[in-house]
């Protein structure tokens, strides 16, 4: 079965700092990759997704992620974070053969104003 690892459990940044959150998965076949965000008191929302094509994916709110197949990674990046980016971020993998999402453990980001 596939697994997803997010090595940073808590990240604290100042506004305007650059962000990179790591995500690695273990599955040798074709995968669909996702980043979800959960703002305090709100639902999970989809930030971006990768199915195929350009491995550099642009999402909402200035986020992007790069799929590196050889490294089994799908790291999330943002050049300049804002206080409003404070949230918990989840990486997820969906194996092509089914619709089940496997989530990583989540990374809690706090951006200090």
Partner 1 sequence: SQTIHQWPATLVQPVGSPLSLECTVEGTSNPNLYWYRQAAGRGLQLLFYSVGIGQISSEVPQNLSASRPQDRQFILSSKKLLLSDSGFYLCACSSGTKLFFGSGTQLSVL
**Site string (15-54) toward partner 1, x via CB under 8 A:** -----------------x-x--------xx-x----x---
Nearest CB to partner 1, comparing residues 59 and 106: 106
Q: Using CB under 8 A, which of the segments 12-20, 63-71, 72-80, 102-110 binds partner 1?
A: 102-110
- In the complex, the smallest distance separating the C-beta of residue 98 from partner 1, rounded to whole angstroms, is 8
Q: What is the CA radius of gyration of the chain?
A: 13
- In the complex, the smallest distance separating the C-beta of residue 113 from partner 1, rounded to whole angstroms, is 25
Distances (CA, A) of 74 to 42, 91, 111: 24, 8, 22
* CB 60, CB 47: distance < 8 Å: yes
Q: How many CB atoms lie within 10 A of CB 74?
A: 29
- In the complex, the smallest distance separating the C-beta of residue 52 from partner 1, rounded to whole angstroms, is 11
Helix (H), strand (E) at residue 37: strand 31-38
Interface contacts to partner 1, rule CB under 8 A: 6, 32, 34, 43-44, 46, 51, 90, 94, 99-106
């Amino acid at each position: 079965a596939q697994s997803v690892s997010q090595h940073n459990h808590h990240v604290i940044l100042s506004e305007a700092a650059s962000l990179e959150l790591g995500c690695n998965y273990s599955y040798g076949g074709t995968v669909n990759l996702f980043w979800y965000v959960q703002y305090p008191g709100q639902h999970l929302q989809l930030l971006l997704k990768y199915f195929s094509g350009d491995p550099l994916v642009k999402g909402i709110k200035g986020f992007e992620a790069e799929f590196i197949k050889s490294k089994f990674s799908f790291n999330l990046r943002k050049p300049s974070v804002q206080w409003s980016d404070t949230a918990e971020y989840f990486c997820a993998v969906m194996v092509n053969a089914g619709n089940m999402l496997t989530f990583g453990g989540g990374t809690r980001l706090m951006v200090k104003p």
